[in-house]
Structure 1
Amino acid sequence: MNAPVTINPDGVSVAGCSIIYAPRGQAGEYSPLATNPYRGCGHGCAYCYVPDVLKMTRKEFDEGANPRPGFLDKLRKDAAKYKAARLTGQVMLSFTTDPYHPGDNTLTRSTLQALIEHGLGICTLTKGGTRSLRDLDLFRAKRDAFASTLTSLDDRFSKKWERNAAPPEDRLAALKRFHAAGIFTWASLEPTLDVESSLAIVKKTHRFVDLFKVGRVNYLPMTKTTDWQDYTLRMIELLNKLGAAHYIKKDLQKFLPDGYPNPPRVPQHH
């Protein structure tokens, strides 16, 4: 007989599961559920805080992503518990790695397939651009989402901060393809490394991005030198002018006008 399954107080995750989990803090603002198939990344983003979280050296983290030992077996065991609990939420890949990193990322497709087989929704957040198109056929308009982190439209700027990530235009091309296929798309404007760059991104992408998630940058010199109140007010003015759906993350919420509508959870599917 199968052991009984207990749903956590959050109502979206299953007790005793660690491979599929409910992220907390700032990560929790992005997705109710997540999983991380790899350890390390390879995109070499200068602002990445994950090596500290995982207690890895930046050199080790940036050398590339490696599959977590026994990941798929562990994922399927967790996914079976979610199915038994009749929880069908969207699971995001990934917070501590990138599902479409520059190395061998074939495990990503197997991960998405396993989640789908167990009745769960899927979402990928990536800087891998059109590498993601390999898995476009798996995404379902009524269940799933595709997202990209965008920091600039300028290749040179991006190369400085995200040296091995896909160039900005390649990321935009992926968003356009998923959007054209009827898949819900969203963009993470975090970290905001340059205010004007983030505003320019919204102007260029709002026709094929269904939702913008707006944050700031932490642990870098511009964290203290940027006028975050001015940025927040300019950003929401632009987003409202364009009729673009958005969520302002907690770091910036203190700058919102009183009563400003900012629901933390909106359906990330059509």
Structure 2
Amino acid sequence: MPNNYIKGRGAQQNVHNKFEKLQHTTDAEFLEYCFKEGEEANDVKTRFQDVFPKTIVNKVTSPDVAMEYSLNPYQGCEHGCIYCYVRNSHEYWGYSAGLDFEKQILVKKNAPQLLEQKFQQKKWEPTAIVFSGNTDCYQPAEKKYQLTRECLKVMLKYKHPTGIITKNSLVLRDLDILRELAKLNCIRVSISITSLEEETRRILEPRTATIKQRLKTVEKLTAEGIPVNVMVAPIIPFINSHEILPIVKAVSEVGAYSVGYTIVRLNGAIAEIFKDWIEKTLPDKAERVLHQIEACHGGNLNDNRFGTRMKGEGEFSKQIVQQFRIAKRKYLKNRKIPEMDTSHYLQLKNPQYKLF
């Protein structure tokens, strides 16, 4: 790694926020004047800011995403996954999609109250709400603030269909709630496992749970009767694309019901962030990886077209489809996650529902 590499972070810089008229740059001579020898110019500490939004349940309009509503107790994510498409959303809050996304975490303190208000609306229909449709609900901040746990208590109170997407083993802390939701057939958990190689995990997802912990998490959840899907996402050419069959085999052995995947796409500011990162971490592979990503998206690093942007196109993408088809047939045959039950919520809001 180069001397200026920031350990423990994914992004290695702050890129310009497209909504800001002025662009901030660092003057090397000024830094040399201000900082003593051996001191770091980059402050790597994470800062947390309380915010109080007006709503917490978000309608998902993308036809490429298998959810209708999402819930995110935090904005920004300390996990620091370099490829994360959500980084761009941090610009709406006045921050950079780069290091700010990992260092400036907004904590939605009133999330549990807003969720309960949502369920008290007469017109609300019980469609699954997925935690972490945006940023990981079990990122390190959750250990302190416990907003996800408090929201899950609300979900259980109203017996509401619940989805969770995470790459953190902290989800096991809430097994007491998840067990009760599982008894009602109202819970599904997706664990993200992008690689089985710990070194790859460290540079791609620096502050996430280890691969060993994630496999144990899948095993523990399924042993408790909680259906688990594994997301092998994103597939990045020449970084984890060779691991498809081994990953599916490994997760099948610990009880996963199903697997899903996406092809990496570098939308918005992510392209600049990813390029800077790969040139510092994997300089020998950088050009090859970037060219192959472009080949998956019609010659561009990003593709905004619904229907193709998540799966890609071209020969490489076709090979990925075939590998997953073989892997599922070989390791996950006859496994399927059943639909969640919405009747409990309906009966709770309207006791006469059960008469029908």
After superposition, give the CA deviation of every residue in 1:211-250 in whole Å (9 maximum; x if it has no partner).
2112211116242356111111121022112234799xxx
TM-fit CA distance, 1:18: 4.6
Give SS of 1:186's match: strand
**In structure 1, what is the equivalent of residue 211 of structure 2?**
168
Query: How far apart are residue 200 of structure 1 and its match?
Result: 1.4
The within-5 A match list for 1:101-180 is 101-103=139-141, 104-129=144-169, 131-139=170-178, 140-141=181-182, 142-180=185-223
2:76 is aligned with 1:40: yes
Bigger shift: 165-174 or 86-95?
Answer: 86-95
Q: Does 1:28 align with 2:74?
A: no
- C-alpha contact 2:244 2:327 (8 A) present in aligned 1: no
Superposed, which structure 2 residues align to 1:201-216 within 5 Å?
Answer: 201-207=247-253, 208-216=255-263
Letter in 2 for 1:138: I
Structure 1 gap ranges (5+): 1-16, 248-264
TM-score w.r.t. length of structure 1: 0.78
Aligned ranges 1:186-205 → 2 under 5 Å: 186-193=229-236, 194-205=240-251
Match of 1:236 in 2: 325
Measured on the aligned residues, the alpha-carbon RMSD in Å equals 2.4
1:87 and 1:120 in contact (8 A); partners too: no
Alpha-carbon distance in 1 for matches of 2:174, 2:200: 28
Paired residues of 2:90 and 2:101 also in contact (CA < 8 A): no
Q: Which runs of 5+ in 2 are unaligned?
A: 1-53, 272-289, 297-315, 342-356
Rg larger in structure: 2
Mapped pair 1:97 → 2:97: no
Determine the structure 1 residue equivalent to 2:8. Answer: none
Question: Does the residue aligned with 1:164 lie in a helix, a strand or coil?
Answer: coil
For 1:176 and 1:64, the matched residues in 2 are separated by: 33
Residue 265 (structure 2) aligns with: 218
Aligned amino acid, residue 79 of structure 1: F
Identity of aligned residues (%): 21
